[in-house]
Amino acid sequence: AQSVAQPEDQVNVAEGNPLTVKCTYSVSGNPYLFWYVQYPNRGLQFLLKYITGDNLVKGSYGFEAEFNKSQTSFHLKKPSALVSDSALYFCAVRDGTGANNLFFGTGTRLTVIP
């Protein structure tokens, strides 16, 4: 069965500093990994995904994520944080068995401090 862990409920970072939001996963077979962002009282928006190929995936708003198979991780990163990046971030995984849905982590609230 698929599962996703986001070990940090809250991440605080100063504006202009690099940020990392952590995610580890467990699946049978090859993982399909996603990051979504949720702004207050809104639905989720897709940021990026990893399917195959390059371990470093680039997405929307300057975000990127690094797939590490040996550590079963898919951490979200950005070189320089903006105050507007403050939001709730969800990691999600789908395995290769044909399951028709995404399994989400519990979310990490990112606060960028001016």
Partner 1 sequence: SQTIHQWPATLVQPVGSPLSLECTVEGTSNPNLYWYRQAAGRGLQLLFYSIGIDQISSEVPQNLSASRPQDRQFILSSKKLLLSDSGFYLCAWSALGQSLSEKLFFGSGTQLSVL
Contacting residues toward partner 1, per CB under 8 A:
6, 32, 34, 36, 41-46, 49, 51, 90, 94, 96, 98-107
Closer residue to partner 1 in complex, CB, 15/26: 26
Q: Bridge-partner residues for 5, per DSSP?
A: 24
Question: Least CB distance from residue 100 to partner 1, whole Å?
Answer: 6
> DSSP readout, 61-110?
GG-EEEEETTTTEEEEEESS--GGG-EEEEEEEE-TT---S-EE---EEE
Closer residue to partner 1 in complex, CB, 13/36: 36
